[in-house]
Amino acid sequence: MADQKQSGFGLWVNQHIMPPIMKFVNTKAITALQNGMVYSLPFIIIGSIFLILGNIPIKSVADAINASGWGAIFAQANNTTFQMMGLWAAIGIAYVYVKNENYEPLAPGLTSAAAFLMLQNLSIDNPLKAALTSGLTDGSMTGKVVTENIDKLPHALQSFLESPVTGVINTKWLGGDGMIAAIIVGLLVGWIYTMIMKAGWTIKMPAQVPPAVSNQFTAMIPSGVILTGSMLIYAAFNAFAHTDFLNWIYNTLQIPLQGISDSFGGAIAIGFLVPFFWFFGVHGGLIMGSLVAPMLQANTADNARLFAEGKLTIAQGAHVVTNEFYNNFINLIGSGITIGLIIFTLVAAKSVQLKSIGKLELVPGIFNINEPFLFGLPIVMNPMLAVPFFLTPLVVAASTYLVIKTGIVPPLNGVAAPWTTPAVISGFLIGGWKMAIWQACTLLISTAIYWPFARKYDKVLLAKEMKEAKQEANK
């Protein structure tokens, strides 16, 4: 009866819940967002290597690197790769959107980059003012004297300090802080470019003109319309809001969204929804990754910046829930954190089915791939394994959030370990030795939760196998 009820519930979910979700996930915008963000992945991972090299957690080594000048070189490499994820996203999203509509995609990708840059003020605050007002506020007598008397400086010097440095690109907006704006720009550029192309508003060259030249003339009108529109948007924000589009999006959208994603409730919701979708045979990691990756990557970028500045603490604004929290805890060993199930199959399973599939899953599981369990065991639509499959990510998400928030382990440092990095090793890379120990603890949590359910399921399978063997022998 329980199986029938579960099957009935599963049928209801597949008929009423999954269709609208899948319709949304497969929209042009979400597909472009999901696939376009992937283009930033090489730069994020390579930039993470430079971040590690520039911040070796051994003081003597770090001092030697900085003294040799290589610390600044590693910072330069990180700042032009990892810290430009917003720019890469703007290009990639527009590129994929237009490519999926079967038009030449490079021009709209570059148009998106130009629009993204055009929508921000090409200026930064005077670095001398920043140094005087914050860089020297270290509690020293010099710092106190300067900061307490800055308003007494000559008017000309005060005016100079208040004047921004113009004609420069503020790299703050090219990274995580500009992520939501980059997504909006990439999607709008892709959509508008496609609409103009479908309307036929293009310059058509004779067939004899080489494609490389012809494509650029074809792109001229849609790119011109988009860039002119971007200029007018910049002008409107500058005149009426006294800010720019990127700054406005950051304050009105991105900060609230990052706050939601970085909350305890956000961690719990992500931890629940990934296995929920997988249980019904839908790629939960893909769906949730599409929805939350922009905010989580922005959180990662903030932590990476704080780590490089030596300020990686919750008190100074570090985030708990980042993209690595998602990849290396909620999805550790694959969705459902199934390491406990692997251990049971290798150590205590008696049924042939669990033993054989456990051996097949061992190596993929080490690299955080658990599809052999999801579809071969199976876990998908299996009520006997539903409770640990849902419960384990929830417990791990909640406990990991709390140990970071309370300072038992430090916040994640912004290093983007590839999702296939084995457990404990990934923990060390993304948070040091304390995080590696905690990650090992989450493997024990998984084992404790899965064990009783796996043992009961194993008994059911063993009884079934023995019955089938007996029937075969009696033939």
Residue 327 near residue 423 (C-beta atoms within 8 A): no
Provide the pLDDT for residue 254: 94
Residue 86 near residue 117 (C-beta atoms within 8 A): no
For the chain, the 3-state helix, strand and coil shares in percent, each to the nearest 5, are 75, 0, 25
Q: pLDDT at residue 138 above 70?
A: no
Average pLDDT over residues 271-293: 86
Provide the pLDDT for residue 148: 56
Provide the pLDDT for residue 195: 96
Provide the pLDDT for residue 150: 59
Tokens of residue 266, six digits:
């956000």
Q: pLDDT at residue 31 above 80?
A: yes
Q: What dihedral do alpha carbons 184, 167, 309, 434 form, nearest 10°?
A: 20
Q: Which residues of 308-347 are buried (b: 16+ CB within 10 A; e: fewer)?
A: beeebeeeeebbbbbbbbbbbbbbbbbbbbbbbbbbbbee
pLDDT band at 179 (very low <50, low <70, confident <90, very high): very high
Provide the pLDDT for residue 105: 95
Q: pLDDT at residue 448 above 50?
A: yes
Q: pLDDT at residue 300 above 70?
A: yes
Tokens of residue 249, six digits:
């999006």
pLDDT band at 1 (very low <50, low <70, confident <90, very high): very low
Tokens of residue 246, six digits:
């990127």
Q: pLDDT at residue 95 above 90?
A: yes
pTM over 0.85: no
d(CA 26, CA 287): 10
Average pLDDT over residues 239-243: 92
Higher pLDDT, 55 or 211: 55
Average pLDDT over residues 440-450: 96
- Count of C-beta atoms within a 10 Å radius of residue 199: 10
d(CA 360, CA 372): 7
Of 277, 267, 346, 342, nearest in space to 299 by CA: 267
Average pLDDT over residues 405-429: 93
**Residue 168: exposure state from Cβ atoms within 10 A (0-12, 13-18, ≥19):** exposed
Residue 374 near residue 281 (C-beta atoms within 8 A): no
Q: pLDDT at residue 174 above 90?
A: yes
Average pLDDT over residues 271-278: 92
Q: Where do we find the tokens 């001398």?
A: 128
Angle 142-147-152 from CA coordinates, rounded to 5°? 110
Tokens of residue 383, six digits:
């009520």
Average pLDDT over residues 224-232: 97
For residue 37, what are the CA distances in angstroms to 311, 321, 329? Answer: 28, 19, 21
Phi, then psi, of 133 in degrees rounded to 5: -90, -20
**Which residues does 449 contact at the CB level (< 8 Å), separation at least 6?**
340, 388, 391, 392, 395
DSSP collapsed to 3 states, 309-352 = CCCCCHHHCCCCCCHHHHHHHHCCCCCCCCHHHHHHHHHCCCCH
Strand, coil or helix: what is 127?
helix
pLDDT digits (tens, 9 = 90+) for 246-268: 999 999 999 999 999 999 999 99
Higher pLDDT, 134 or 221: 221
Q: pLDDT at residue 134 above 60?
A: no
Of 177, 34, 189, 187, nearest in space to 118 by CA: 189
Provide the pLDDT for residue 290: 78
Residue 186 near residue 112 (C-beta atoms within 8 A): yes
Residues in the chain: 475
Average pLDDT over residues 133-142: 50
Mean pLDDT value across the chain: 88
Average pLDDT over residues 36-62: 88
pLDDT band at 371 (very low <50, low <70, confident <90, very high): confident
| Percentage above 70 pLDDT, the chain | 90
Phi, then psi, of 304 in degrees rounded to 5: -60, -40
The one-character DSSP state at 198 is: H
DSSP string, 341-397: HHHHHHHT--SHHHHHHHHHHHHHHHTT--HIIIIITT-TT-GGGHHHHHHHHHHHH
- Count of C-beta atoms within a 10 Å radius of residue 7: 12
Strand, coil or helix: what is 124?
strand
pLDDT band at 213 (very low <50, low <70, confident <90, very high): confident
Average pLDDT over residues 343-356: 94
| Percentage above 90 pLDDT, the chain | 62
Of 298, 292, 376, 387, nearest in space to 336 by CA: 387
Residue 85 near residue 301 (C-beta atoms within 8 A): yes
Furthest CA-CA distance within the chain: 104
Q: pLDDT at residue 298 above 60?
A: yes
Range of lowest pLDDT (129-138, 164-173, 178-187, 391-400)? 129-138
Range of lowest pLDDT (92-101, 204-213, 367-376, 412-421)? 204-213
pLDDT digits (tens, 9 = 90+) for 423-438: 999 999 999 999 999 9
Provide the pLDDT for residue 141: 47
Average pLDDT over residues 67-80: 93
Average pLDDT over residues 301-319: 93
The one-character DSSP state at 145 is: H
